[in-house]
Amino acid sequence: MSKKIGDVILDVKNISLSFGGVKALTDISFDVREHEIRAIIGPNGAGKSSMLNCINGVYTPQQGNITFRGQTFSHMNSRAVAEMGVARTFQNLALFKGMSVIDNIMTGRNLRIKSGLLMQALRIGPAAREEEKHREFVENIIDFLEIQAYRKTPVGQLPYGLQKRVDLGRALAMEPQVLLLDEPMAGMNVEEKQDMCRFVLDVNDEFGTTVVLIEHDMGVVMDISDRVVVLDYGKKIGDGTPAEVRENPDVINAYLGTSH
């Protein structure tokens, strides 16, 4: 199996972020190429989620800039980021628990629905036709993620592993070019992890989506990602293919500890 990795699509340069006196990120630079799976790993508190939040526009870094598809930003705007084709999932799941799986994933189509609120509410004019079109797209995602059996189940009643899948489904509904996954395998059992790995690989393979993922589980990361960035205490300590990173002495120290 071979896949074509393209040019740099997302370039992060010299990002520093601090909250008061706490330095969350110090001078971080790395790039993401089109169609690759890029992992950000590191111990707890290393600044992984902060990094994702900078890309995503939730946090504004004090220094540095981010280049996305040739456009350089000193801070990203959440809505603009979404409109540019970057979607994300959340570590702690931010789904609408009382709504069905279908409706949750439908919310991911929000940016693409053109008809107004009133027309949608009354299902008049082009609104009904448009909803049908979006529903078809959502059904494709449901089929893709193999959650047909839970279509109409309220998300709150689903086991955690399936909720994670719905979260991914909602991100996919945006038809993203870049998918940011914040610990997609956290809290899952082995089987659920394997399923999730397969979905991430399939998304990357089938739609050519570029994936940036944060993960704790080293085994998972090493198996599925093309390149890995390693953070520790807000600093970048390693960057390269899984094999290179595994050999990196700083990474070994950060994960296994050093003898002082």
Partner 1 sequence: METTFPHLLRQHATQRPTAPAMREKEFGIWQALSWSGMAQMVEQLACGLHAAGLQRGEHMVIVGANRPRLYATMLAAQSLGAIPVPLYQDAVAAECVFPITNADVRFAVVEDQEQVDKMLEVREQCTQLSHIYYDDARGLRNYEEDGLVSLDALCEAGQQFSTIHPGYLAAEVDKIRPTDVAAMFFTSGTTGNAKGVVHTHFTLIDRGRAGATFDKLGPDEDVLAYLPPAWIGQNIFSYAQWLVCGYVVNCPESAATVTIDLNEIGPTYYFAPPRVFEGLLTSVMIRMEDAGAVKRKMFHYFMDLARRVGPDRMDGKPISALDNALYALGNVLVYGPLRNNLGMSRVRVAYTAGEAIGPDLFSFYRSIGINLKQLYGSTETAVFVCLQPDNQARADTVGVPCAGVEIKVAANGEILVKSPGLLKEYYKNPAATAEVLSADGWYHTSDAGFIDAHGHLKIIDRVKDVGRIKGGANDGAMFAPKYVENKLKFFPHIKEVVAYGDQREKVCVMINIDMDAVGNWAERQNLPYAGYTDLAQKPEVYALIKDCVEKVNADLASDELLAGSQISRFLVLHKELDADDGELTRTNKVRRGFIGDKYQPLVDALYSGKSEQYIETVVKFEDGRSGSVSATLAIADTRTFPPVKAAA
Q: Which is nearer to partner 1, 139 or 192 (CB)?
A: 139
Q: Which is nearer to partner 1, 146 or 223 (CB)?
A: 146
Q: Which is nearer to partner 1, 2 or 258 (CB)?
A: 2
Q: Which is nearer to partner 1, 51 or 200 (CB)?
A: 200
Q: Which residues pair with 38 in a beta bridge?
A: 212, 227
Q: Which is nearer to partner 1, 69 or 135 (CB)?
A: 135
Residues that bind partner 1 (CB under 8 A): 1-3, 136, 139-140, 142-144, 146, 148-149, 151, 202, 205-206
Least spacing, CB of residue 103 vs partner 1, in Å = 13
Least spacing, CB of residue 207 vs partner 1, in Å = 10
Sheet containing strand 227-232, strands side by side: 86-88, 178-182, 210-214, 37-41, 227-232, 235-240
Q: Which is nearer to partner 1, 2 or 44 (CB)?
A: 2
Q: What one-character-per-residue DSSP string does the chain give?
A: ------SEEEEEEEEEEEETTEEEEEEEEEEEETT-EEEEE-STTSSHHHHHHHHHTSS--SEEEEEETTEEESS--HHHHHHTTEEE--TT----TTSBHHHHHHHTTGGG--S-HHHHHHT-THHHHHHHHHHHHHHHHHHHTT-GGGTTSBGGGS-HHHHHHHHHHHHHTT--SEEEEESTTTT--HHHHHHHHHHHHHHHHHH--EEEEE-S-HHHHHHH-SEEEEEETTEEEEEE-HHHHHH-HHHHHHHH----
Least spacing, CB of residue 102 vs partner 1, in Å = 8
Least spacing, CB of residue 108 vs partner 1, in Å = 17
Least spacing, CB of residue 152 vs partner 1, in Å = 9
Q: Which is nearer to partner 1, 152 or 260 (CB)?
A: 152
β pairing state of 210-214 and 37-41: parallel
